């Protein structure tokens, strides 16, 4: 860890003094590191006192330099408030007709969260494993957005993240520069995100939420679930749109499941025999990815994971 952390700090320090370009490069690597959780090491260089910048505390404490302080936070607002929500719209529009209702809850709630609070992980984790190439496109767009926003110039800061709440609050601080430009910039960024995401998804047939593989006969998740035994099908119907029978089948059957739990975005299941796990079946249930840790399986469902867990528990009588 000291070597990794030191390497990221050194990389961040290399961007200092590069102005808007450096801010854009930082935003690009910030997004790339999110899947590994290492973006916090890079953030410490710019937001806190690791390299003497303290962008965050200086902005809110009015102890920085007007026109300079805030440059490593400003660029996050446009793509967090409008860019990624527009990406959600693109993913919803390109989802298969039979799955749009299922992905709507995931994407709509995640877009709302990103716009108001700047919490983007529910969106990013919904496609970064399904379509890593698209995630790279997102990182590039984020970096370009940050560089242009800082160059205009605009200066805003956040105490939590780049959502609308922090945008409004920081607009009234002394070090805020041209805060009104954030909205028109964000609108343009939203349009670009929507067009680019929709084009890339359809052009390369990416498996974003709602576009996962179907069975050989072309049936979608609902049809696969309908093949379950009658008793399970009846209980599954009572569980709404959650393909419970398919999930249980993919986990190796009821007798193979020891426990079911969930965190913010993941269904966490402990299995007796992990070799009975059927990845291809699980991938038809609307998940964004599968993480295996011994006999413990994590299936990424996003914000709808609570409903998934409840439905599975009802079928298992846990």
Least reliable range by pLDDT among 60-64, 72-76, 306-310? 306-310
> At a CB cut-off of 8 Å and minimum separation 6, what does 16 contact?
22, 45, 51, 53
3-state DSSP call for residue 261?
strand
Backbone angles phi, psi at 313, to 5 degrees: -60, -40
> Does residue 287 carry a catalytic annotation?
no
How distant, in Å, are the alpha carbons of 205, 247, 267 from that of 216? 17, 18, 26
Q: Are 8 and 38 in contact (CB under 8 A)?
A: yes
The position carrying tokens 């716009």 is: 115
Tell me: the pLDDT tens digits for 15-42? Answer: 998 999 999 999 999 999 999 889 989 9
- Statement: the pTM of the whole predicted model exceeds 0.85: no
Name the pairing type of β-strands 266-271 and 289-293.
Answer: unpaired
Which of these is catalytic: 88, 113, 263, 287?
263
Tokens standing for 313?
Answer: 């528990």
Q: Quick one: how many helices (H) and strands (E) in the chain?
A: 16, 4
- pLDDT score recorded for residue 213: 62
Closest C-alpha among 171, 304, 316, 170 to residue 242: 304
- Report the share of the chain in percent with pLDDT over 90: 66
Residue 264 has a pLDDT of 76
- As a whole number, mean pLDDT of residues 76-85 equals 98
Tell me the range of 38-42, 172-176, 217-221 where mean pLDDT is highest: 172-176
Contact 23, 150 (CB under 8 A): yes
- pLDDT higher than 60, residue 237: no
Q: Name the β-bridge partners of 270.
A: 259, 296
């Amino acid at each position: 860890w000291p070597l990794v952390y030191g390497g990221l700090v050194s990389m961040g320090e290399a961007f200092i003094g590069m102005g808007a370009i450096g801010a854009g490069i930082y935003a690009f690597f910030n997004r790339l590191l999110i899947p590994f959780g290492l973006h916090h090491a890079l953030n410490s260089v710019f937001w806190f006192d690791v390299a003497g910048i303290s962008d965050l505390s200086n902005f809110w404490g009015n102890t920085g330099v007007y026109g300079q302080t805030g440059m490593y936070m400003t660029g996050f607002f446009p793509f967090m408030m409008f860019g990624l929500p527009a990406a959600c719209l693109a993913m919803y529009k390109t989802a298969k007709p039979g799955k749009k209702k299922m992905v709507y809850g995931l994407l709509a709630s995640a877009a709302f969260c990103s716009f108001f609070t700047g919490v983007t992980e529910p969106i990013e984790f919904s496609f970064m494993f399904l379509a890593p190439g698209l995630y790279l496109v997102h990182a590039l767009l984020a970096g370009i957005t940050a560089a242009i926003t800082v160059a205009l110039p605009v200066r805003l800061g956040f105490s939590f993240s780049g959502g609308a709440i922090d945008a409004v609050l920081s607009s009234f601080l002394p070090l805020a520069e041209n805060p009104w430009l954030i909205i028109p910039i964000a609108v343009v960024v939203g349009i670009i995100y929507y067009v680019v995401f929709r084009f890339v998804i359809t052009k390369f047939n990416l498996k974003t939420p709602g576009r996962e593989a179907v069975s050989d006969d072309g049936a979608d998740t609902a049809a696969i679930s309908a093949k379950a035994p009658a008793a399970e099908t009846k209980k599954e119907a009572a569980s709404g749109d959650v393909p419970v029978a398919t999930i249980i089948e993919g986990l190796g059957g009821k007798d193979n499941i020891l426990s079911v739990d969930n965190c913010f975005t993941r269904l966490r299941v402990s299995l007796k025999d992990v070799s009975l796990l059927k990845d291809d079946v699980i991938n038809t249930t609307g998940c964004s990815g599968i993480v295996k840790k011994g006999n413990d399986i994590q299936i990424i469902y996003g914000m709808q994971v609570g409903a998934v867990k409840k439905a599975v528990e009802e079928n298992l009588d846990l």
